[in-house]
Structure 1
Amino acid sequence: MTVEDNIRNNIIDKLLTISNKDYLSALYQLISTSKVNDDVIQLSESQILMLNMSEEDIKNNRVMSQEDLDKMDLEWLKSL
């Protein structure tokens, strides 16, 4: 994985933890007004594998609603 991939993944991980709507809106505006590089992004073999596994999960109905996932997360947090 490249340095850029690591940085991107770290940013995504941190974004997923933000719940403040104003903060997210400000970040969105910053990103949406930035110049985007039109280069084609080459995925690693592991990224392609993960995407293929996700597609298989969807095809085989091995999915979970966000609501159920949130409930499981809360139960897990309570057990800590």
Structure 2
Amino acid sequence: MAISNKDYLIALNNLIENSSVENDIAELSAEQILMLKMSDNDIKNGDVIDQQDLDKEDLKWLKVL
């Protein structure tokens, strides 16, 4: 599949050429850092749930509401 509309391609090219990439670094709060460390520990300890089981638990929870 190809795009043959020349005006569209030129406009797209102009957007790409004129866009700027910012490499801003997000500052995390102490609480966010703590949550990330807790998540790392959960993964290391195997305290995880796969997506399919999580979906089932969500459906059970939603039925209670």
- Tell me if TM exceeds 0.5: yes
What count of residue pairs does the alignment treat as equivalent? 48
Choose the corresponding residue for 1:47, options 17, 32, 35: 32
Cα deviation for residue 35 of structure 1 reads: 4.7
Structure 1: give runs of 5+ residues left out of the alignment: 1-32
Cα deviation for residue 56 of structure 1 reads: 0.1
Structure 2: give runs of 5+ residues left out of the alignment: 1-15
Higher-Rg structure is: 2
Distance 1:71 1:35 in 2: 43
**Secondary structure in 1 matching 2:52:** helix
Q: Scaled by the length of structure 1, what TM-score is found? A: 0.53
Structure 1 residue runs of 4 or more that deviate by more than 3 Å after TM superposition: 33-36
Distance 1:50 1:35, change over 3 A: farther
Aligned-residue CA RMSD (Å): 1.8
Q: Scaled by the length of structure 2, what TM-score is found? A: 0.65
